[in-house]
Amino acid sequence: MKLKNLAAVLIAAACAAGLAACGSDEPAAPAPAVTPSTAKAPAEISVFGEDSSDILFRIHEQNATAIIETVEERGGTPEQAVAALLAGQAETGWRSGLSLPAPAADISDIYGWRFAYNIGADSTDAVRAATYTFMDNAAAVNADPADPVAYALAVQHADEREYVEDDRYYKNGETPASEYAKAHPIAESAYTELRNAQ
């Protein structure tokens, strides 16, 4: 073989080896295929909180359940259940046995009245007893339950113990009307959540 031909063969072999080496590099990752997302949307946070194992979550859920069940036992409508829920939320945040605002030294039931039952103030039985009273008062009210805020306030005002608004909210300009209106969507959500869970 002539020297010229040998040089050409060696150059061609070197180029072929170089191309083979380049070709052995890992191929570029293909572009990801665009597919519709199958991931579920995050679940809505419960009106009772984010952690169902939390003690306050369980207390609030248990008390709200007791309110609904008691209203239903008394033949009440869903609107009346929502009204009872919002009254309890506005007055005590669904916690029975809370201290009343100063100057009172007593504790309150779930609707904000001085606690007078011969049972544990923070028990579910106390919530049921207070809700029986709420429903007793509801029987004397002409307000339309379709407006839960006005209805709940009318029921509270119908109580023979006399609902004194100044004894309920006094710190930052809150009024029963403003607090009950604020509690309304929370009560609606609680009712929907608990009834849809059945």
For 37-57, how does the pLDDT look when each residue is reduced to its tens digit (9 = 90+)? 444 344 578 999 888 888 999
DSSP 141-180: --S-TTSHHHHHHHHHHHSTT---GGGT--SSS--HHHHH
pLDDT tens digit sequence for 128-160: 999 999 999 999 999 999 999 999 999 999 999
Alpha carbon separation from 58 to 64, 109, 112, 188 (Å, rounded): 10, 18, 20, 18
Question: What's the CA gap between 43 and 61, in Å, rounded?
Answer: 18
> What band does 5 get if pLDDT is binned at 50, 70 and 90?
very low
pLDDT at residue 43, as a whole number: 55
> What band does 166 get if pLDDT is binned at 50, 70 and 90?
confident
> What band does 100 get if pLDDT is binned at 50, 70 and 90?
confident
Q: What is the number of other CB atoms lying within 10 angstroms of the CB of residue 58? A: 14
> What band does 167 get if pLDDT is binned at 50, 70 and 90?
confident
Tokens read off for 11: 């150059």
pLDDT at residue 10, as a whole number: 44
Task: Examine the pLDDT at 175 and tell me if it is beyond 80.
Answer: yes
> How does 164-173 read in b/e, with b if 16+ C-beta sit within 10 Å?
eeeebbeeee
3-class DSSP state for residue 186? helix
Q: What is the number of other CB atoms lying within 10 angstroms of the CB of residue 34? A: 5
pLDDT at residue 198, as a whole number: 63
